[in-house]
Amino acid sequence: MNAGFWTSAIIIFALVVDFIFRVVAIIVVPRNRRPTSATAWLLAINFIPYLGLLVFLLIGSYKLPKARRAKQAQINQFILDQTEGMERVRRDHPWPNWLEQVVHLNRSLGSMPLVGGNSATLITDYQQSFDEMIAAIDAAERYVHVEFYIFTLDPTTAPFFDALERAKNRGVTVRVLLDHIASLRTRGYRKTIKRLTEMGAEWQLMLPIQPFKGRYQRPDLRNHRKLVVIDGEVGFMGSQNIIDAGYDKASNHRRGLQWKELVARLDGPIVSGLNAIFITDWYVETDQLLAREARLVEPTFIAPPREQIDCQLVPSGPGFPHENNLRLFLALLYYAQEQIIITSPYFVPDESMLNALLTAIQRGVRVELFVSEVADQWLVYHAQRSYYEQLLEAGVVIWMYKAPTILHAKHFTIDDEVAVVGSSNMDIRSFQLNSEISLMVRGRHFVAELREVEQSYRDNSRQLTREEWAAQTTVRSTIADNLARLTSALQ
pLDDT range class, residue 29, cuts 50, 70, 90? low
Is pLDDT of 460 > 90?
yes
Least confident of 93-102, 218-227, 354-363: 93-102
Pick from 83-92, 311-320, 450-459 the range whose average pLDDT is largest.
450-459
Q: Where are the alpha helices (DSSP H) in 29-123?
A: 35-47, 49-59, 66-82, 99-110
Q: What is the 3-state secondary structure (H, E, C) of 416-460?
A: CCEEEEECCCEEHHHHHHEEEEEEEEECHHHHHHHHHHHHHHHHC
Which has the minimum average pLDDT: 66-75, 95-104, 375-384, 482-491?
A: 482-491
Q: Is the pLDDT of residue 397 over 90?
A: yes
Mean pLDDT of 330-343: 97
pLDDT at 428: 87
Q: What is the pLDDT of residue 229?
A: 98
pTM score: 0.87
pLDDT(367) > 50: yes
Pairing of strands 397-401, 461-464: antiparallel
Confidence (pLDDT) at 265:
98
pLDDT tens track for 152-190? 999 999 999 999 999 999 999 999 999 999 999 999 999
Pick from 164-168, 255-259, 475-479: least confident: 475-479
Residue, of 74 and 334, whose pLDDT is higher: 334
Residue 436 falls in which region: left (phi positive, over 0), alpha (psi -120 to 50) or beta: beta
Question: Is a pLDDT exceeding 60 seen at residue 193?
Answer: yes
**Helix, strand, coil proportions of the chain in percent (round to 5)?**
50, 20, 30
Question: CA 465, 467, 472 angle in degrees (round to 5)?
Answer: 100
Residue 147: pLDDT band by 50, 70, 90 thresholds? very high
pLDDT at 28: 64
Q: Which residue has the higher pLDDT, 59 or 98?
A: 98
Average pLDDT score over residue span 107-123: 92
Mean pLDDT confidence for 416-431 = 94
Instruction: Please state the rounded mean pLDDT for residues 356-361.
Output: 97
Q: How many CB atoms lie within 10 A of CB 224?
A: 26
Q: In this prediction, what percent of the chain has a pLDDT beyond 90?
A: 60
